[in-house]
Amino acid sequence: MSKAGAGLRISLTALASLALFILAGAAEAIIIRHDVNARRHEVRAAEFPAVFYIEQQGGDRICAATVIHARWAITAAHCVHETSLGRILETGNDFGVRVGGNDRLIDTVVVHPGYDVNLTESTDLALLRFSDTSTAPVISLQTEPTELDQIVTLVGWGFFGWGTTGREFSDGKIRMAANRINEAGDRLQMRFDDPRLPDSDALPMEGTPGLWDSGGPALLGERGNYRLAGVAIGELEGERFSEDTQGRYGAIAVYERISRHLDWIESVIYRLDSPD
């Protein structure tokens, strides 16, 4: 198993590694517009059967991953050791997860060879191999470099909050939001627009990932025909950035761009997709 480390902390803050700031009370995941009823963002896990959280710690669900093949899922590399996944695999044991209502075991992690915990610009991706082959739903990969200006669906179990205040609470519930890709270079970027501004381009269901949403997907297309465009890795640390108010309006979420890494993904799956 390849090594991974703690979240990026230089100019890009990983969504799995911000200092904990938990308040008592129940709320939802994903940070949303202050003027939209939070219930509109509620979804059932069954609506996204190929997306799963990696670990539960108390009532919190840490990091997410997306099933992209009968035997493989993809997540952020820093999630391997932000959860106990890496430690358990290093002992020679498999790691249990709940995927689409079924228990599955992860037996191998392959971290992208370009990942370096000390380098902000390194490729923060890891592939997770299941011990079994399943016929359960998978999400196809975005293969064309046409992501710019497209609207994506974001999914996660992390902190809930509002754009006016940033992250507030965690209750481990799954929520979704939408956002528009406004930069598509080596990575994808999405700004959380403030609907109060006169020139705002905020979407009706606009939102941004919160703490512990690392590894979660940015999905293009419609339900039943989603394509995985990005994997959540962090938020840019601008002038107004604060760990305690992560996710306020103006926040820029950063996702690894899947269409840039197709060769690596396909080579790993082709090389290792066989029973031991």
CATH number of the domain encompassing residue 161:
2.40.10.10
Instruction: Indicate if 111 and 156 belong to the same structural domain.
Output: no
Nearest in space to 83 (alpha carbons), one of 64, 103, 105, 111:
64
**Is 54's pLDDT higher than 60?**
yes
Instruction: Indicate if 165 and 245 belong to the same structural domain.
Output: yes
Instruction: Indicate if 37 and 168 belong to the same structural domain.
Output: yes
**Is 154's pLDDT higher than 60?**
yes
Burial 133-157 (b: 16+ CB within 10 A, else e): eeeeebbebbeeeebeeeebbbbbb
Instruction: Indicate if 35 and 99 belong to the same structural domain.
Output: no
Instruction: Indicate if 35 and 152 belong to the same structural domain.
Output: yes
Average pLDDT over residues 42-66: 94
**Is 56's pLDDT higher than 70?**
yes
Instruction: Indicate if 65 and 100 belong to the same structural domain.
Output: yes
Q: Please give the tally of structural domains in the chain.
A: 2
Instruction: Indicate if 147 and 250 belong to the same structural domain.
Output: yes
Average pLDDT over residues 107-129: 94
Instruction: Indicate if 93 and 168 belong to the same structural domain.
Output: no
Instruction: Indicate if 156 and 122 belong to the same structural domain.
Output: no
pLDDT digits (tens, 9 = 90+) for 12-39: 556 665 432 222 222 236 999 999 999 9
Instruction: Indicate if 36 and 154 belong to the same structural domain.
Output: yes
Q: Please give the Cα distance from 111 to 102 (Å, whole number).
A: 25
Record the pTM: 0.89
Range of the domain at 148: 31-43+141-258
| pLDDT of amino acid 189 | 97
Nearest in space to 8 (alpha carbons), one of 16, 211, 187:
16
Query: Is residue 35 in some structural domain?
Result: yes
Instruction: Indicate if 100 and 158 belong to the same structural domain.
Output: no
Q: Please give the Cα distance from 224 to 240 (Å, whole number).
A: 38
Q: How confident is the model at residue 273 (pLDDT cuts 50, 70, 90)?
A: confident
| pLDDT of amino acid 196 | 97
Question: Considering the chain, what is the average pLDDT of its residues?
Answer: 88
**Is 9's pLDDT higher than 60?**
no
Instruction: Indicate if 147 and 253 belong to the same structural domain.
Output: yes
Average pLDDT over residues 78-92: 96
